[in-house]
């Protein structure tokens, strides 16, 4: 996401994000410089210097341990396959036949084995009367290639809006989009099948919080939605959200992406920035734990949102890092409170 959120609450959230961007490297220590233990689906750092705004993440269904990602706006029709064992790019895919992407924000893989890319960002909340989704088969061999992609025109039944989360249901193939707004957004359901050369109208079916990305579990029974500082996992049945629970999302510089591992045992949280870290968060029982209970913990050294200062038996260095991060959160929360208070007074 290139532009900052609008409104008092959005600006305050940006201040908090900036504070954390400064505090995290200093207080929590650097993230994983290389993949954790050389095993797949563990914490890793995206090493490719071309990937500076990783805004979406999708676990490959064909190549174990590989994650597809892309840059945000102004980059071009490119998608990258990154190996979680090394953090290195294995393939750069150039989409042909899609025009010039405007603001690519999301990526997902459908049950047809195709990769869906969501050019759905609209930082001015309604500037564009339509957005696009691109689709191409996931390559069987990982090497640099140019592929033909299908372009779908998308409109919302209730008018144009900004969005950063697009999820393809792994069983039905139906596409969902979660809009982004500081006062809360909506979950939009696309037609049963997207059609090229025609308008695909997405209709609002539920309410969601401020969302920067989302992903379905491999069995399609759960949907995780993340924001800058938190994440929630929802039961999902018959196209509607059910009971939800908190997920221990890690602190990240600019929290932009999330996906389940291919086996559904964990969530992988990504961030924008050069050499950005992707952090694994275990999902207890495959995410089927009791309602209302916080799920999982980050597998690496980074703390989770809401967990600063919890670690019993942690060393002095870890304790100081957690305390520093906690202080940054407290300061940011104060800024956010004053912004919202001022907004209420003006209202």
Q: What is the pLDDT of residue 299?
A: 59
User: For residues 44 and 70, what is the distance between their CA atoms, to the nearest angstrom?
Assistant: 16
- pLDDT classification of 347: cutoffs 50, 70, 90: very low
Same domain, 9 and 83: no
Whether the per-residue pLDDT at 211 is higher than 90: the answer is yes
Task: Please check whether residues 263 and 330 belong to one and the same domain.
Answer: no
User: Are 3 and 135 in the same domain?
Assistant: no
> How long a stretch of residues is the chain?
347
164 and 312 share one domain? no
What CATH number is given to the structural domain containing 199?
A: 2.120.10
- Do 316 and 204 have their domain in common? no
Contact 283, 264 (CB under 8 A): yes
Domain identity same for 192 and 204 = yes
Give the sign of the dihedral formed by CA 265, CA 270, CA 275, CA 279.
negative
Selection from 178, 183, 261 nearest residue 225 by Cα: 178
State whether 151 and 292 are in the same domain. Answer: yes
Whether residues 57 and 203 fall in one domain? yes
Q: How many domains does one find in the chain?
A: 2
Tell me: do 301 and 326 sit in the same domain: no
Pick the more confident residue, 254 or 267. Answer: 267
DSSP structure string for 19-78: HHHHHIIIII----SS-GGG-TTS-EE---TT-S---EEEE-SSSTTEEEEE--TTS-SE
Are residue 302 and residue 319 in the same domain, yes or no?
A: no
Domain co-membership, 38 together with 67 = yes
Residue 155 has pLDDT above 60, yes or no: yes
Q: Which domain holds residue 325?
A: 1-30+308-347
Q: Please state the φ and ψ torsions of residue 110, each to the nearest 5 degrees.
A: -95, 175
Q: What is the pLDDT of residue 340?
A: 41
Q: What distance, in Å, lies between the first and last C-alpha atoms of the chain? A: 29
* Same structural domain, 87 and 183: yes
Residue 235 pLDDT: 97
pLDDT band of 289, cuts 50, 70, 90: very low
Judge contact between 260 and 266, C-beta under 8 A. yes
CB 92 within 8 A of CB 86: no
């Amino acid at each position: 996401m290139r532009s900052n959120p609008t409104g008092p609450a959005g600006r305050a959230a940006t201040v908090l994000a900036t504070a954390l961007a400064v505090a995290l490297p200093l207080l929590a220590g650097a993230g994983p410089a290389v993949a954790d233990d050389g095993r797949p689906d563990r914490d890793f750092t995206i090493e490719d210097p071309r990937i500076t705004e990783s805004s979406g993440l999708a676990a490959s269904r064909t190549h174990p341990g590989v994650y597809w990602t892309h840059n945000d706006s102004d980059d071009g029709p490119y998608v990258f396959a990154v190996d979680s064992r090394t953090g290195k790019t294995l393939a750069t895919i150039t989409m042909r036949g899609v025009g010039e992407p405007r603001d690519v924000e999301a990526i997902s893989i459908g049950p047809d084995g195709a990769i869906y890319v969501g050019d759905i960002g609209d930082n001015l909340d309604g500037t564009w009367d339509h957005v696009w989704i691109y689709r191409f088969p996931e390559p069987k061999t990982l090497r640099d290639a140019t592929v033909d992609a299908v372009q779908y025109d998308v409109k919302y039944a209730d008018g144009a809006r900004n969005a950063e989360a697009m999820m393809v249901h792994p069983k039905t193939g139906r596409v969902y989009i979660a809009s982004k707004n500081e006062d809360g957004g909506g979950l939009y359901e696309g037609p049963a099948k997207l059609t090229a050369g025609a308008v695909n109208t997405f209709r609002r079916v539920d309410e969601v919080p401020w969302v920067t990305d989302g992903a379905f579990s491999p069995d399609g029974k759960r949907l995780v939605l993340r924001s800058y500082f938190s994440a929630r996992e929802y039961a999902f049945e018959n196209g509607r959200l059910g009971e939800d629970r908190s997920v221990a999302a890690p602190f990240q510089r600019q929290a932009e992406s999330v996906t389940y591992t291919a086996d559904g045992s964990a969530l992988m949280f990504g961030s924008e920035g050069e050499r950005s870290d992707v952090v694994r968060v275990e999902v207890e029982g495959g995410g089927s734990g009791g309602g209302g209970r916080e799920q999982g913990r980050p597998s690496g050294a980074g703390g989770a949102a809401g967990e600063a200062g919890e670690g019993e038996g942690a060393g002095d260095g870890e304790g100081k890092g957690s305390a520093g991060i906690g202080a940054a959160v407290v300061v940011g929360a104060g800024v956010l409170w004053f912004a919202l208070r001022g907004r209420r007074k003006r209202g």
